[in-house]
């Protein structure tokens, strides 16, 4: 697994000058060190995730309430079942709801939302142009899939806004 900090710094918790600068500049948050440490432990100790995490590049993590979103880059096509098992194992260690998504879909709002709300479905994505010239995305989700939503709609909106920088609202139909 590739991470932005040094392995030794993450394992020991004592940061070298380069890693300390990354944390102080805000490129890496304090809570991300713990996330990376737990991912490294899963990679080393769990044979189920070893091959998957060897091909994984950690990009960034976003935290909102009791939910955590991990952005990563995958060398090969990721399997949703492995991602769900990894998120569950990491969630048990960190006591949070976790979603792991591909950074390749950072600008494709529909793909980003589909990964976040899996196994629920996305009916569509509409763009509303506001009078000031800006725009807002409306994500439509069927009411029947509401029970399958892994995260609250509020946290999904916050995560999408943090990752893509776009103004987003979720509408249940």
CATH code for the domain in which residue 46 is found: 3.30.300
Q: In the chain, what percentage of residues exceed pLDDT 70? A: 95
Q: Which residues contact 51 (CB under 8 A, 6 or more apart)?
A: none
- Listed residues 76, 104, 132: the one ending a domain: 104
Q: Are strands 124-129 and 135-141 parallel, antiparallel or unpaired?
A: antiparallel
Q: Could you tell me if 9 and 85 lie in one domain?
A: yes
Give the model's pLDDT for residue 143: 93
Residue 1 pLDDT exceeds 70: yes
Q: Could you tell me if 65 and 141 lie in one domain?
A: no
Q: Could you tell me if 85 and 126 lie in one domain?
A: no
Lookup result for tokens 């969630």: 91
Token pair for 90: 């990491």
Question: How sure is the predictor about 16, in pLDDT bands with cuts at 50, 70 and 90?
Answer: very high
- Listed residues 72, 104, 136: the one ending a domain: 104
Is 49 in contact with 86 (CB distance < 8 Å)?
yes
Q: Which residues contact 153 (CB under 8 A, 6 or more apart)?
A: 170, 172
Give the model's pLDDT for residue 114: 86
Number of domains in the chain: 2
Residues 24-41 have a mean pLDDT of 91
């Amino acid at each position: 697994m590739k991470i932005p900090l040094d392995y030794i710094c993450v394992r020991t918790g004592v940061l070298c000058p380069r890693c300390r600068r990354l944390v102080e500049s805000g490129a890496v948050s304090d809570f991300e060190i713990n996330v990376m440490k737990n991912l490294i432990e899963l990679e080393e100790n769990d044979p189920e995730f070893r091959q998957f995490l060897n091909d994984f590049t950690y990009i960034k993590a976003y935290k909102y309430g009791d939910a955590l979103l991990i952005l990563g880059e995958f060398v090969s096509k990721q399997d949703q079942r492995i991602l769900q098992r990894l998120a569950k194992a990491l969630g048990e260690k960190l006591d949070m709801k976790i979603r792991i998504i591909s950074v390749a879909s950072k600008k494709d709002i529909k793909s980003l939302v589909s990964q976040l709300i899996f196994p629920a479905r996305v009916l569509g994505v509409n763009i509303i142009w506001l009078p000031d010239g800006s725009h807002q995305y409306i994500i439509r989700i069927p009411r029947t899939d509401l029970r399958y939503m892994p995260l609250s709609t509020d946290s999904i909106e916050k995560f999408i806004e943090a990752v893509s920088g776009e103004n987003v609202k979720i509408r249940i139909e």
